[in-house]
């Protein structure tokens, strides 16, 4: 007897999970000639990008050395969705990724309004990358699937009751992601993993608002 195994971490399994959440039958392959399948797949990609754009432990890289090229510019990889100075206290530069006149993503300094760095050899930056769905931790895969399912419930079937139910599942999945983040991120009381400068936003901080209040009160007292 032949046993059929199903890989639960693929885009196909995710699309089938979204289809199942709105009462549709599963598919055996991603046929993008089918408008509904193409639409569901785009919802999955859109939701994945929205989640990853927040910047989590699994897709943030710190202390990356970027070397200035012979043209005095720095090309940024296509999978990098956000980039910033490693030193958050340095207000003389503010890095972002931006397309140059040649259409290539490069490091742009918003303070000095330039792509060119003739007086520098390299910079250290932090990057947020967009990973393939298969490379994302399972807990985040579930969060992305529920987020995409909620959008499908609105845009494809217009079922408000189903949307509310999926919204509850999405909130629970996000809470699981935050727990993962707190466990994996090595964050301390002040919200700093290992850097000396404070990062203005981290998703996991929503878990500990009372800590932030107590910390502010402590600073006022002393």
- How do residues 126-138 score in pLDDT, each as one tens digit? 999 999 999 999 9
pLDDT at residue number 209: 46
Q: Would residue 37 count as lying in a domain?
A: yes
pLDDT at residue number 93: 93
Regarding pTM above 0.95, the answer is no
Scan for tokens 């050899």, then name that residue: 121
Number of domains the chain contains: 2
Query: Cα separations (Å) of 118 from 114, 148, 180?
Result: 11, 45, 42
Q: Two tokens at 21?
A: 């959440």
Q: Kindly state whether residues 142 and 45 are assigned to the same domain.
A: yes
Domain boundary among 98, 129, 160: 129
Q: Would residue 198 count as lying in a domain?
A: yes
Q: Is the dihedral of CA 101, 103, 104, 105 positive or negative?
A: positive
pLDDT at residue number 157: 86
- Indicate if the pLDDT at residue 212 is higher than 70: no
Q: Give residue 98's domain range.
A: 60-129
Mean pLDDT on 140-165: 92
Q: How far is CA 179 from the centre of its chain?
A: 16
Which helix (H) or strand (E) segment holds residue 124: the answer is strand 122-129
Q: Would residue 68 count as lying in a domain?
A: yes
Residue from 179, 119, 114, 116 nearest 143 by CA: 179
Q: Kindly state whether residues 158 and 49 are assigned to the same domain.
A: yes
Q: Two tokens at 154?
A: 């609105």
Q: Would residue 5 count as lying in a domain?
A: no
- Indicate if the pLDDT at residue 118 is higher than 60: yes
Three-class HEC string of 36-78: HHHHHHHHHHHHHHHHHCCCCCCCEEEEEEEECCCCCCCECCC
132/137 Cα distance (integer angstroms): 11
- Indicate if the pLDDT at residue 221 is higher than 90: no
Share of the chain above pLDDT 70, in %: 80
Q: Kindly state whether residues 39 and 145 are assigned to the same domain.
A: yes
Q: Kindly state whether residues 86 and 25 are assigned to the same domain.
A: no
pLDDT at residue number 87: 87
- Is 36 in contact with 157 (CB distance < 8 Å)? no
Q: Two tokens at 4?
A: 């059929």
Q: Would residue 2 count as lying in a domain?
A: no
| 3-state SS assignment for residue 86 | coil
- Is 98 in contact with 105 (CB distance < 8 Å)? yes
Q: Would residue 219 count as lying in a domain?
A: no
Residue from 32, 37, 25, 105 nearest 73 by CA: 105
Q: Kindly state whether residues 154 and 169 are assigned to the same domain.
A: yes
Beta pairing, strands 122-129 & 80-85: antiparallel
Three-class HEC string of 157-206: CCCHHHHHHHHHHHHHHHHHHHHHHHHHCCCCCCCCCCCCCCCCCCHHHH
Domain boundary among 129, 153, 182: 129
pLDDT at residue number 182: 86
């Amino acid at each position: 007897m032949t046993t059929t195994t199903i890989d639960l971490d693929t885009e196909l399994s995710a699309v089938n999970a979204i289809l199942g959440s709105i009462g549709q039958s599963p598919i055996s392959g991603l046929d993008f000639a089918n408008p509904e399948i193409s639409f569901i797949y785009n919802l999955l990609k859109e939701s994945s990008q929205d989640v990853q754009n927040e910047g989590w432990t699994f897709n943030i890289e710190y202390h990356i050395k970027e070397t200035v090229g012979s043209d005095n510019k720095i090309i940024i990889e296509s999978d990098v969705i956000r980039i910033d100075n490693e030193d958050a206290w340095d207000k003389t530069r503010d890095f972002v990724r931006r397309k140059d006149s040649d259409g290539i993503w490069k490091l742009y300094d918003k303070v000095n309004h330039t792509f060119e760095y003739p007086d520098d050899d390299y910079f250290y930056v932090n990057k947020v990358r967009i990973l393939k769905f298969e490379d994302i931790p399972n807990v985040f895969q579930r969060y992305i699937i529920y987020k995409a399912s909620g959008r499908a419930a609105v845009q494809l079937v217009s079922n408000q009751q189903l949307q509310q139910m999926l919204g509850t599942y999405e909130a629970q999945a996000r809470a699981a992601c935050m727990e993962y983040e707190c466990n994996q991120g090595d964050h301390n009381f002040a919200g700093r993993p290992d850097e000396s400068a404070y990062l203005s936003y981290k998703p996991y901080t929503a878990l500990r608002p009372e800590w932030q209040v107590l910390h502010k009160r402590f600073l006022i007292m002393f």
